[in-house]
Amino acid sequence: MRGRVMRGSHNIFTVRPETRDAADLECRIKGKVLKGADDYQNPLAPGDWVLYEEDPVRAGAGLIISPEKRRNCFTRLNPKGVSSNRLSSPQLIAANVDLVLCTASAAFPPFRPRFIDRVLLQADAAGIPAAVLCNKWDLFDGDPDIEERLEDFSRIGVPVFRISAKTGMGMDEFRSAVQGRFSVLVGQSGAGKSSVINALLPSPRIKVGDINAKYERGNHTTTLSEAAAVPGGAFLVDTPGMRLFVPHGISRADVIFHMREFAPIAGTCTYGFSCSHRREPGCRIMEAVDAGVIHEDRYESFLRICDELEGNGYGE
């Protein structure tokens, strides 16, 4: 039988059978080790399709026999694992994803556009469409820097949703955008990922947390990724809040191709692909920043990400 993973912890996964009328079932991996699973911390993630059979011992439970090849996967490097083994701790966040929703907050926690830049980069490299979901719009105080960056995301072709899970503002448009798709919400703790999903469910069922008043950030309430089925045919994957987003599987040289407004200029500098885009004469990237084709902040993100990737072994 075939089904889709909705959530998983350690060795137990919730699988939704492909046949619509059957209920979700708890599955273990047959023989403990899943053949064909890649080198991630977790062998399966929400969105994975698997073949399973009935568990002969536990009634109503299943055994996962094999994973299906993924159409795409959204990953990151887990910073916790970076110190022990720098390259071997990528985390599989979701598989077979139609849309990555970079979830930010207009206030508490503060809006962090460079975090969004990183998530957009990872989505592009994975070949997954992405959008920016700016929640808590009811708290927006008119900060022009936030508006400027949101408008810049729109300008480069990334859809932007200004919403409030609390008041329902913008939620109809958002609901139609995720209709029929399997989407994953990624963002800082406290941005309101769980609240947004709750707002689309007939009755709230996901636990939401408080904002730590002193540090103005969330308390890492969600600890396990889980796909929720929204009536009308959407799946939304809730994920634990991330403090950092370290891109995974992207080389320093590739970054330029996965940032939309940079890609068309790649290789056109006087020094071609050996240009560091920091000081060289005839640098088309720096010219594009001066001309307003590339936002200064995005340029800053680009330089920082390149430096970081060089440092962790993904450089040239």
Task: List residues binding Mg ion (CB under 5 A).
Answer: 193-194, 221-222
C-alpha 223/C-alpha 210 separation (Å) is: 15
End-to-end CA, the chain: 44
Residue 275 contact among Mg ion, ligand GTP, Zn ion, none, beta carbon within 5 to 8 Å by kind = Zn ion
**What is the distance of C-alpha 19 from the center of its chain?**
28
Q: Is residue 189 involved in binding ligand GTP (CB under 6 A)?
A: yes
Nearer to Zn ion, 217 or 258 (CB): 258
Place of tokens 């947390």: 209
Q: Say if CB 132 and CB 153 are below 8 A apart.
A: yes
Nearer to ligand GTP, 28 or 136 (CB): 136
Place of tokens 């110190």: 83
Nearer to Zn ion, 55 or 310 (CB): 310
Least Å distance, CB 191 to ligand GTP, is 4
Least Å distance, CB 200 to ligand GTP, is 12
Nearest-Å Rg of the Cα atoms of the chain is: 21
Among 192, 230, 258, 309, binds ligand GTP (CB under 6 A): 192
Residue 310 contact among Zn ion, ligand GTP, Mg ion, none, beta carbon within 5 to 8 Å by kind = none
What angle is formed at CA 267 by the lines to CA 262 and CA 270, rounded to 5 degrees?
115
Backbone angles phi, psi at 302, to 5 degrees: -55, -50
Helix (H, G, I), strand (E, B) or coil at 116: helix
Q: Say if CB 277 and CB 153 are below 8 A apart.
A: no
Nearer to Mg ion, 228 or 234 (CB): 228
Residue 3 contact among ligand GTP, Mg ion, Zn ion, none, beta carbon within 5 to 8 Å by kind = none
Closest CA to 97 of 66, 127, 64: 127
C-alpha 201/C-alpha 186 separation (Å) is: 19
The contact pattern for ligand GTP, residues 224-253, with x = CB under 6 A and - = no contact, is ----------------xx------------
CB atoms within 10 A of CB 22: 12
Residue 100 contact among ligand GTP, Mg ion, Zn ion, none, beta carbon within 5 to 8 Å by kind = none
Among 158, 190, 298, 302, binds ligand GTP (CB under 6 A): 190
Nearer to ligand GTP, 122 or 135 (CB): 135
Which residues of this protein are in contact with Zn ion, per CB under 5 A? 269, 275, 277, 283, 285
Q: Binding residues for ligand GTP, per CB under 6 A?
A: 135-136, 138-139, 164-166, 189-195, 208-211, 218-222, 240-241
